[in-house]
Amino acid sequence: MKLTGRQRVFLEQFLDVYRENAQSLHYSVVGERLGVSSITAYDMLRLLEERGLVVSEYVVPGRGAGPGRSTVVFCPTEKAVAVLSELAGEDWNLEEWEVIKQHILQGVRQGRGGNYEEILNELLSRMPERRSPLVFCAEMITAVILNLHLVKADLTQSALWDRLAELGLPADLGLSALAGLALGLSLVERANRRFVSVLLSQTRRYQNALSELSASKKKLLADFVRDVVEAMGT
């Protein structure tokens, strides 16, 4: 789930206050503890509630709310804890990303000149594995680009190779279009049918994984595409 930095900090602090009090909290209490206005706290809690991270309930007099009319209180959901745990692991995921990125680029450099069979076989063999969206997208894009290069002569005749340079990376359109080129490969007579078949079977998964990436991770992916093309020496 994508949260802005402000939403993430607010949710983390709200969880801390909730654990200290061991009970649902009125938004005015949350605002006071977090150093924001009651209105700001209320609006943020409602926003987090829409995302399933917080739940509200109305407490009536005689059930711990004190005298007067009913009042609304908030508490975090189990999903909130899970989301924050996942976000806390992002730094580790980025470390994993750097290792895998360098491994892929090394394989591409070793195949410079057109001998990409080894790195392609490795990438395609890992496609069915459950990997992070960023890593999967990187492997998918690399496989598409290397396959395009292997049939570059045919693509040049159809001007498809030139289109690759016009995709407008790092825009989202460019990243999405790269997956679509897998379909174009299926129409190239000299393309490796086994490679193309695997790529086509993963296209929908690629689109779903790409939609899960934050803007910062899409930037990492776009920079990686440039690194791949540079490593190929094209």
- Spatial distance between the Cα atoms of 68 and 183, rounded to a whole number of angstroms: 66
Token output for 108: 């591409």
Tell me the C-alpha distance between 233 and 9, whole Å. 43
**For residues 147 and 62, what is the distance between their CA atoms, to the nearest angstrom?**
70
Contact between residue 124 and residue 195 where contact means Cβ atoms under 8 Å apart: yes
Please enumerate in sequence order all residues whose Cβ is within 8 A of that of 211, keeping only pairs 6 or more positions apart, or say none: none
In 3-state terms, what secondary structure has residue 93?
helix
Alpha-carbon distances, residue 232 vs 49, 113, 126, 185, 226 (angstroms): 48, 7, 21, 19, 10
- Residues 182-211 have a mean pLDDT of 69
Evaluated on CA atoms 214, 89, 108, 142, the torsion sign reads negative
Domains annotated on the chain, with CATH:
5-86 (1.10.10.10), 90-232 (no CATH)
Q: pLDDT at position 172, please?
A: 47
What tokens were used for 95?
């470390």
Cα gap 71→58, rounded to integer Å: 5
- 190 half-sphere exposure, CB direction, 13 A CA radius: 9
Beta bridge partners of 57: 73
Lowest average pLDDT, out of 42-51, 105-114, 168-177, goes to 168-177
Q: Are residues 142 and 123 in contact, defined by beta-carbon separation less than 8 angstroms?
A: yes
Percentage of residues of the chain with pLDDT beyond 70:
71
DSSP class per residue in 113-173 = TT--HHHHHHHHHHTTS---HHHHHHHHHHHHHHHHHHTHHHHHHHTHHHHHTTS-TTSHH
Report pLDDT for 65: 46
Q: What is the pLDDT of residues 143-180, one digit of tens each?
A: 888 877 776 655 554 455 555 555 444 444 457 666 66
CA distances from 66 to 17, 26, 60, 103, 123 (A): 20, 12, 8, 62, 63
48-64 pLDDT tens trace:
999 999 999 998 765 54
Question: Where does the pLDDT of residue 201 fall: very low under 50, low under 70, confident under 90, or very high at 90 and above?
Answer: confident
Q: What is the pLDDT of residue 171?
A: 45
